[in-house]
Structure 1
Amino acid sequence: MDKKVYSLLGLCKRASRLSSGEFMTEKAVKNKTAKLVIVAADSSKNTKKLFNNICFTHKVKLIEFGTKEELGRAIGKDIRASICILDEGFAKAIEENTNFKT
């Protein structure tokens, strides 16, 4: 299942329907363009708390999945603590292939 999620993240990146990094993810959530936020399981407590609060406030779904290194590799970048999906279809497909958290 993990392999499918990482493949979906790669497709999403190639389709330009993904933002990554704390600043860009936070910006997308606040601008109401985010459909799903993924935070790496090995992110700091502060990062997890930040996105939990922001996603709760703006009613965006949040999933804790993978590691920072794995998320970065899936989208062809360095380590990434957070990724934001901007497309409803990709978000739904990723949700279906992970253990949905919030």
Structure 2
Amino acid sequence: MTNKEQILNFIGLAKRAGKITTGEDILLNAIKKNKIKFLIIATDSGKASLKKFTDKANSYNIPTNQMFTKVEISDAIGMPRTIIGIADNGFAKRLKEMTN
């Protein structure tokens, strides 16, 4: 199993554990409330969304990752998404380690 597959499986585990936040408006509110610890943005997301979320993440010091496509993220969590937020310190820390 490749590193990328392991990360996607781990994201799926975080989803099943209820530690993922999705949806643009919900994510933006969660970021403002400092509930998001790690942000995964699809490489093929729209320019406006990409800029909006990278700017928000930078201003709130949230680490981001852009190594997956929409299809890969959607397959990992079982629903169509381009941006997901990890709302748990443990999962976020492990994902940071895995993606570096």
Give the alignment's TM-score, normalised by structure 2.
0.90
Tell whether the 8 Å contact from 1:22 to 1:81 is kept in structure 2 after alignment.
Answer: no
Q: Which runs of 5+ in 1 are unaligned?
A: none
Identical counterparts, % of pairs: 35
Runs of 4+, deviation exceeding 4 Å: none
Instruction: Please name the residue that 1:60 is paired with.
Output: 62
Q: CA shift at 1:21, angstroms?
A: 2.4
Give the alignment's TM-score, normalised by structure 1.
0.89
Q: Which runs of 5+ in 2 are unaligned?
A: none
Q: CA shift at 1:24, angstroms?
A: 2.1
Q: What is the number of residues matched between the two proteins?
A: 98
- The one-letter amino acid paired with 2:91 is F
Structure 1 residues 16 and 7, CA, compared in 2 at 3 Å: closer, same or farther?
A: same
Q: Matched residue of 1:51: which SS? A: helix
Instruction: Please name the residue that 1:45 is paired with.
Output: 47
Counterparts in 2 of 1:17-96, with a 5 A limit?
17-78=19-80, 80-96=81-97
Q: Report the aligned-residue RMSD.
A: 1.1
